[in-house]
Chains A and B, each alone.
Chain A
Amino acid sequence: MKIWPSFLAALALVLLAWAGVGLFHWQTLFGVVIPYLAFLTFVAGFIRRVVLWGRSAVPFRIPTTCGQQKTLPWIKQDKLENPSSPWQVLGRMCLEVFLFRSLFRNIRTEKRGAALGFGSAKWLWLGGLVFHWSMLIILLRHLRLFLNPVPAPIRGLEALDSFLQIGAPLLYITDLTIVFALTYLFLRRVVVPSVRYISQPADYFPLLLLLAAALSGILMRWFFRVDIRAVKELTMGLVTFHPLPPGQLSIGVIFYIHIFLVSCLFAYFPWSKLMHAGGVFLSPTRNMSNNSRAVRHVNPWNYPVKTHAYAEYEEQFREKMRKAGLPLETE
């Protein structure tokens, strides 16, 4: 099963951080060097990949049209599903990026004896949406560790995220939802036969890594209770490029496990399918307007081709054309 390599890899990463800090006390390596390297890899790799994509030409206007085209004035155009102007494209892209419009369309098709049946299938959409939004909020929340003083919007977000006011420290809703969503996405891959069939180690690995990172974060906050002020000293040192030797701060191993997993995620990102985060913006079937009949689209590498000209055609059929009474260019 393709799940084991991914599981073992994720486990190995956890053990590595645990051993590295817990046994060998390589705090500087795991708390400073690796995070820096990972972040660099992320930024450089991300940019490299986007530049590679950007350098490829877009020879044709190929939006997938999912609604009525712009046509006669009395026929209503579906501006969001079949945009014909940049603003409409922006609308379509916002729906895709923020609400996963296309995934929302999902339907289940089943074979019922000699007939096909269609059913609603919104779980994948919901799971995906919950995961991505939780992820975003968690990332934004973490900015608290890198900014001094903490800007009001971030504090506001935190307050919102913990508005249930359960427990001490307060429970973040997104901590729950991200774990649920990831678990769902993972189980779906394992349980649904067709999805299991198409899954690669590269599909299980990021899920497991994310799950491990999230869980280590939660453990750190609730069970092992690391010294949050020391953590902030460390993270502020990182962003101000005056990293403190972390050995002097007393931060529990669980923190290093967490930061190492997150570092791995960052470093892994540009080499993997996670790049869909950048790619979704560039997808020509979604980010182009369907106006190529009204406005000329130019292909940068268009080149002349050999055709069979009318003169050659007439040459070939002259007698037959004459007999049939067709007008000729040359008698």
Chain B
Amino acid sequence: MARAPKAPKAEELLDFDFSPPAADWMETPVDFKPGTFCYGAKGKNLDIMDLPNARDWSPTDEDWRLPAEWQGTIIEGLADRMKKYRSFRLFLDICVRCGACADKCHFYLGSGDPKNMPVLRAELLRSVYRRYFTRPGKLFGRLAGARDLTVDVLKEWWYYFFQCTECRRCSVFCPYGIDQAEITLMGRELLNLLGLNTDWIAGPVANCFMNGNHVGLEPQTIMSNVEFLLEDIETITGRHIEPSFNRKGAEILFVAPSGDLYAEPGTYTCMGYLMLFDQLGLDYTMSTYASEGGNFGFFTSNETAKRLNAKIYAEARRLGVKWILGGECGHMWRLVNQYMDTWNGPADFLEQPVSPVTGTKFTNAAATRMVHITEFTADLLYHNKIKVDKSRNDHLVITYHDSCNTARGMGLLEEPRYILRRICNNFVEMPEDTIREKTFCCGSGAGLNAGENMELRLRGGFPRANAVKYVREKHGVNVLANICALDRASLPALMDYWVPGVKVMGVHELLGNALVLDGEIERTLDLRSDDLPGKEEEAIV
């Protein structure tokens, strides 16, 4: 495997503008620029999932070793998906190329590459659809915006469909709601029919299928990881916590993105969860089998996503819990909200979720029976069921990054903000055009958070970073709060590059800092074991 290329300097990255090239896009062949794409999926990872055309390959290979009848496979696959998804069929037909979506994509805004305009990303596939499925396309070809499906076109698809984070920002602005994420999803499904995934997605998928989570943590490793966090909690707060795993008969199954279990800074968020649950005396358990809320299957195909997601309900049923509580994760929550029950429900073996602390019935989760942790915690705070000491976050100036999926695939906007306002004194918003439904992606979603494509990630994250920079300069922001495991994994590098001095923290990490536990020791450290400014002196006095 080649070494990941070093990221270029910021001036080099920003050396572009939005004026399109002279040559027509159909005549501009794809250029696999190192640093902007991921490695090809390894055969062994596809084999584990029984996915077709498993082999080792590299996107830079001249010959991608496609199956003999590959064109037929794609055309058939296209026809099949057009029947299965009205969204797809409709979005192939009704775009008027008004361009409203063009400058809304973070990849376009960070690269100036016109094929990163959502409308052109869609045209890459639409042009093939026209050629094989519409009369004008068959009759008039190029004149009707149609073109043949060639290997070069396929390569172009691969390059640009793995350069879209399925963030749906384009869809917010489109007069017909055309969602490029839908087209990318289908595009990736088609590519997967030929074994053309990235390994950064295929690897985690295989891990998750076999071991229950993306990194492939085995049960005992999950437990020992959590053990470490518990030791830290004890050092910091004096509180000894003993959570349970795979325990039958618990009231609640808690499912977090696995990133929170093993990698900083997600682990600090995990500490926040553990402290909160312990303080409440919640009757909950975690599973080593369903140890992943996230789902890289969704970045592969609908079927793969469903296969991975099935574990959550299966485990809830096996353990006999009443309902499910879900941790901070973006795409996990788009799937819980819009897909899980449809895939693997009905969840009639669970009960309607009720907060055991406040008695609040989560009627909005009446069918899936899964509650978002910020809904749960906001409810606690609203009913004053937990004590917090805001001043412990006084050295922080916090802004909040909406993850694409919770914003545009759910509408979870106020819950995390309410929590933040209750647990800190310095909360500021980024400019209006860059938050809530108009939020900018971290640039690494949908399975793009690899190392080898760092340049792409930095470019895609530029619009987000640009907004953070604005509030850093204006208000001295030093924390970017979020509720997404991929954000926590990818934004630190992005901040270090574009806006040094801004830390990335989960909302429940900040909550954990402010949370007053019964019988805790005087806090002088935050959850990162850094000194709490102001507090250490008090301790001395």
Interface on A for B, CB 8 Å cutoff?
5, 49, 52-62, 64-72, 74-76, 78, 81-82, 84, 96, 100, 102-103, 105-111, 114-116, 118, 124, 128, 192-203, 271-273, 275-276, 279-280, 282-286, 290-299, 301-302, 305-310, 313, 316-317, 320-321, 323-324, 326-327
Contacts and interface: CB of A to CB of B under 8 A. Distances in A.
B337 A293 contact: yes
Chain B: number of interface residues, binned into ranges: 35 or more
A186 B117 CA distance: 20
B130 to A, nearest CB: 9
Nearest to B81: A56
Given A111-B16, A124-B100, 12 more contacts: A54-B86, A56-B83, A103-B98, A111-B14, A195-B99, A203-B97, A290-B411, A298-B342, A306-B50, A307-B310, A309-B314, A310-B315
A102 B173 contact: yes
Interface in B306-326: 306-307, 310-311, 314-315, 318
A282 B363 CA distance: 28
Contact of B414 (A59, A75, A293, A308): A75
B495 to A, nearest CB: 16
Interface secondary structure of B, over-half rule: helix
A44 to B, nearest CB: 14
B262 interface: no
Given A197-B25, A198-B120, A72 B360 contact: yes
Given A198-B117, A293-B365, A320-B220, A105 B172 contact: yes
Contact of B303 (A54, A75, A305, A324): A305
B186 interface: no
B121 to A, nearest CB: 11
A111 B100 contact: no
Given A106-B100, A124-B100, A321-B219, A273 B94 contact: yes
A282 B98 CA distance: 19
A262 to B, nearest CB: 20
B314 A128 contact: no
Contacts of A54: 86
A193 B117 CA distance: 13
Contacts of B85: 56-59
Q: Which 5 A-B pairs have the closest CB atoms?
A: A69-B411, A279-B94, A285-B177, A65-B411, A197-B20
B83 A313 contact: no
Given A68-B414, A114-B10, A56 B99 contact: no
A55 to B, nearest CB: 7
Contacts of B17: 111
B411 A102 contact: no
Nearest to B498: A114
Contacts of B175: 96, 100, 102-103, 128, 276, 280
Contact of A293 (B98, B336, B437, B470): B336
Contact of B289 (A49, A55, A69, A313): A313
A175 to B, nearest CB: 23
Contact of B176 (A69, A283, A308, A327): A283
Q: Which of B25, B94, B119, B342 has the largest number of chain A CB atoms within 10 A?
A: B94
B410 to A, nearest CB: 6
Interface secondary structure of A, over-half rule: loop
Interface stretch (B265-273, B374-382, B502-510): B374-382
A203 B20 CA distance: 18
Contact of B245 (A49, A280, A326): A326
B259 to A, nearest CB: 20
B407 A65 contact: yes
A103 B415 contact: no
23 contacts: A56-B82, A56-B85, A56-B90, A62-B409, A64-B172, A66-B172, A71-B415, A75-B415, A78-B411, A81-B411, A102-B172, A109-B104, A114-B14, A194-B19, A198-B114, A198-B120, A272-B136, A279-B93, A293-B367, A306-B50, A307-B314, A321-B288, A324-B219
Contacts of A52: 89
A291 to B, nearest CB: 8
Nearest to A192: B99
A328 B330 CA distance: 32
B431 A118 contact: yes
A3 B533 CA distance: 65
Interface in B41-76: 50
Interface string B402-421: 00000111111111001000
B443 interface: no
Contact of B90 (A124, A193, A198, A282): A282
B179 interface: yes
Contacts of A118: 431, 433-434
B8 to A, nearest CB: 14
A69 B364 contact: yes
B529 interface: no
A81 B176 contact: no
A49 B93 contact: yes
B413 A68 contact: yes
B360 A65 contact: no
A97 to B, nearest CB: 10
Interface string B11-39: 10010111110000100000000000000
A246 B446 CA distance: 63
A265 to B, nearest CB: 15
A62 B338 contact: yes
B350 to A, nearest CB: 13
A103 B90 contact: no
B143 A5 contact: yes
Given A200-B145, A313-B289, A327-B246, A65 B408 contact: yes
B134 to A, nearest CB: 8
A67 B466 CA distance: 23
A124 B220 contact: no
B86 A58 contact: yes
A321 B246 CA distance: 10
Interface string B163-199: 0000010011111111100100000000000000000
Contact of A326 (B18, B25, B123, B246): B246
B318 A310 contact: yes
Given A64-B168, A106-B100, A292-B342, A327 B248 contact: yes
B318 A275 contact: no
A225 B360 CA distance: 73
Interface in B444-499: 462-463, 466, 469-470
